[in-house]
Amino acid sequence: MFGKLKISGEIEVVTGMHIGGSSQFSAIGAVDSPVIRDSYTDKPMIPGSSFKGKMRTLLAKQYFRTAMLQEHNADPEIVLRLFGSSNKNAIRPSRLLFSDMFLLNEQELKAVGIDSVTEVKFENSINRLTAIANPRQIERTIRGSKFGLDIIYNVEEEKEIEEDFKAIKEGMLLLEYDYIGGHGSRGYGKIKINGLKVETAIGDIDSKVIDSCNKILKEV
């Protein structure tokens, strides 16, 4: 069986988020650690690879029941099924295809008096031996920013769809209780996933299966 399901929704930034971009050509006095930006709009974005990588790691930890992970190709079966394997003796394509995520609500933010969708936060690390501070400037996407979520799920086995979607739901819940990007232990990168919806993109998938997938993701 072959088909494609589209998972759509919104990612809302709950605390300032830093997903790093290049600072290779930063001028003197510029931000030490800028966020990654969409080159077309020059607005912050969430790379699909960042979302996918963090979700895969959290699910692997959940199913392994350990914080110490092995290499990717040794992930549990359900994780390999969703995210693929590059093992040369058993290459498996990913069932989940993640798109980059772009800012949705810039005008909404401007309407409440917010001039910039990023902020610069000053951080200090203190050398314990010398007590010397090492200040740095970290750019963050501001809280309240919303990004469009777009994931394609490749249908391979109809009998596995609901099991896969339960794992997808679990991965998204784990993400909401973790963080995306850098400096999460300092409070950065908390997100909320809203308005998840599943619909058929290609193929003839039983409407009862679609309804079940929507019901599963409503628990996020």
What are the domain boundaries of the chain?
A: 3-20+45-113+145-217
Q: For residue 185, what is the DSSP state?
A: G
45-92 pLDDT per residue, tens: 999 999 999 999 999 999 987 767 778 888 899 999 999 988 878 788
Element (H, E) at 200: strand 191-202
10-19 pLDDT per residue, tens: 999 999 999 9
Checking DSSP bridges between strand 146-155 and strand 45-46, what pairing results, if any?
unpaired
92-139 pLDDT per residue, tens: 899 999 999 999 999 999 999 999 999 998 776 677 777 666 677 899
Of all residues in the chain, the percent with pLDDT exceeding 70 is: 90
Structure tokens at 138: 């970290």
pLDDT of residue 24: 46
pLDDT of residue 126: 73
The pTM of this model reads 0.88
Q: How confident is the model at residue 25 (pLDDT cuts 50, 70, 90)?
A: very low
* Nearest to 122, CA basis, from 183, 81, 212: 183
pLDDT of residue 91: 84
* 44, 28 contact by CB (below 8 A): no
pLDDT of residue 83: 96
Q: How confident is the model at residue 28 (pLDDT cuts 50, 70, 90)?
A: very low
Q: Is residue 149 classed exposed, middle or buried when 0-12, 13-18 and 19+ CB atoms within 10 A define those classes?
A: buried
